[in-house]
């Protein structure tokens, strides 16, 4: 049973709330506000350079003396396929042309996997955040052994029982049960495998029943009522991402905040045309374009992201926000714009009100 609270007792958390790591959206200010309020704040350093990641950790440490989490991406390094990538550039070309722009001549792997080189690992060992979490897969047994030796707690995302069992067997301290409702990238270990698209409710319950390590529920949880529901299902905490996008401390661009505050919040969809991996996004012109694109024609993650980012830059330059990576979960209409400290205060009151 996953009712083992050791992992959180060890960290001294007073609220069963993890602010999700969100590359490009979470900030040291956000993570520090959440940790100071008794939850676990997180930094998303998966798409950062090692230097930038180190700086984010140091900034957070200056803002709080509470524990926080640094999250990296353990995706399978991209397999390059020149023919496929050229075909992709030709496919997106007409979208660039709407903005009198051209796609890049060739695509680049815009950031590396944690599994692909040791510099990020070395930096984490030096900086020693209290918690490190992994998305898209698991670190190596030797990395895990070293983290454990430094008393760094480890969390990993799982989208099904098979992945969760692998995470538990390799030594993760807790698993994040990421439901289909969740905003941002799906943490599937193998994005080309059949996806059962389990929702947060069923997945949390299944993992809580089957695993001996604690389970954290993630996906569509926006308030204290949702957090209580997750706890009732056997989770020890809830991980909330979308709920923090509109906070004052968020690095989300105005276009993302505006989409979240408007009618678009009612319509999220899973798409892989932006980055190369399935991710839940507020529906926009780009996701609509991508609806009929076969998965097999999309180049590997994060190579596809290179074109996605360039297209968004071209569109934004012309005042068109319809191509942004506006990740959000199905709970988007419940988003609240306020400070992260106030949101934590409200979430804790809502949990207690139950």
185 token code pair: 């990238």
As a 3-state breakdown, the chain gives helix, strand, coil percent values, each rounded to 5, of 40, 15, 45
Using DSSP's 3-state secondary structure scheme, residue 88 falls into helix
Burial 199-231 (b: 16+ CB within 10 A, else e): ebbebbbbbbeebebbbbbbbbbbbbebbbbbb
Lookup result for tokens 């949390």? 204
Interface residues toward ligand FMN, by CB under 6 A: 20-23, 25, 44, 46, 71, 135, 157, 178, 181-184, 218-221, 239-243, 245, 327-329, 331
**Shortest distance, CB of residue 53 to ligand FMN, whole angstroms?**
12
Cis peptide bond upstream of 6, omega within 30:
no
In contact, 45 and 23? CB cutoff 8 Å: yes
74 token code pair: 């353990």
**Shortest distance, CB of residue 91 to ligand FMN, whole angstroms?**
26
Closer to ligand FMN by Cβ: residue 99 or 111: 111
**Shortest distance, CB of residue 67 to ligand FMN, whole angstroms?**
17
**Shortest distance, CB of residue 86 to ligand FMN, whole angstroms?**
29
In contact, 277 and 185? CB cutoff 8 Å: yes
**Shortest distance, CB of residue 186 to ligand FMN, whole angstroms?**
8
Residue 325 sits at the vertex; the CA angle it makes with 319 and 327, to the nearest 5 degrees, is 125
**Shortest distance, CB of residue 182 to ligand FMN, whole angstroms?**
3
Strands 174-178 and 153-158: parallel
**Shortest distance, CB of residue 264 to ligand FMN, whole angstroms?**
14
The residues near 310 (Cβ < 8 Å, ≥ 6 apart) are 96, 101, 103, 104
CA distance to 29, 226, 265, 338, per residue, from 201 (Å): 31, 10, 21, 27
């Amino acid at each position: 049973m996953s009712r083992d609270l050791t992992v959180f007792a060890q960290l001294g958390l007073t609220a069963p709330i993890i602010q999700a790591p969100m590359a490009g959206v979470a900030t040291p200010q956000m993570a520090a506000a959440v940790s100071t309020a008794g939850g676990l704040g997180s930094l998303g350093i998966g798409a950062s350079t090692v230097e930038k990641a180190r700086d984010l950790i140091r900034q957070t440490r200056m803002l709080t003396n509470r524990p926080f989490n640094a999250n990296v991406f353990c995706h399978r390094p991209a397999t390059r396929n020149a023919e496929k990538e050229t075909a992709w550039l030709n496919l997106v070309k007409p979208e660039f042309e709407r903005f009198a722009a051209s796609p890049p001549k060739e695509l680049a792997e815009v950031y590396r996997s944690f599994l692909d080189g040791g510099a990020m690992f070395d930096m984490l060992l030096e900086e020693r955040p209290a918690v490190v979490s992994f998305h898209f897969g698991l670190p190596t047994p030797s990395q895990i052994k070293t983290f454990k030796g430094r008393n760094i707690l480890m969390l990993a995302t799982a989208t099904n029982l098979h992945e969760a069992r692998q995470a538990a067997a390799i030594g993760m301290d807790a698993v994040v049960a990421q439901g289909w409702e969740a905003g941002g990238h799906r943490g599937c270990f193998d994005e080309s495998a059949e996806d059962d698209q389990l929702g947060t409710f069923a997945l949390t319950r299944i993992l809580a029943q089957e695993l001996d390590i604690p389970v954290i529920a993630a996906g569509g949880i926006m308030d204290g009522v949702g957090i209580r529901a997750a706890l009732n299902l056997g989770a020890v905490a809830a991980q909330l991402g979308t709920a923090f996008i509109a906070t004052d401390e968020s690095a989300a661009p105005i276009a993302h905040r505006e989409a979240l505050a408007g009618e678009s919040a009612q319509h999220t969809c899973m798409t892989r045309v932006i980055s190369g991996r399935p991710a839940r996004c507020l529906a926009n012109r780009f996701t609509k374009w991508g609806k009929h694109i076969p998965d097999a024609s999309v180049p590997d993650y994060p190579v596809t992201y290179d074109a996605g980012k360039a297209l968004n830059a071209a569109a934004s330059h012309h005042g068109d926000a319809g191509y942004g990576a506006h990740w959000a979960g199905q709970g988007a209409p419940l988003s609240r714009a306020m400070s992260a400290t106030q949101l934590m205060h409200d979430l804790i009151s809502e949990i207690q009100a139950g």
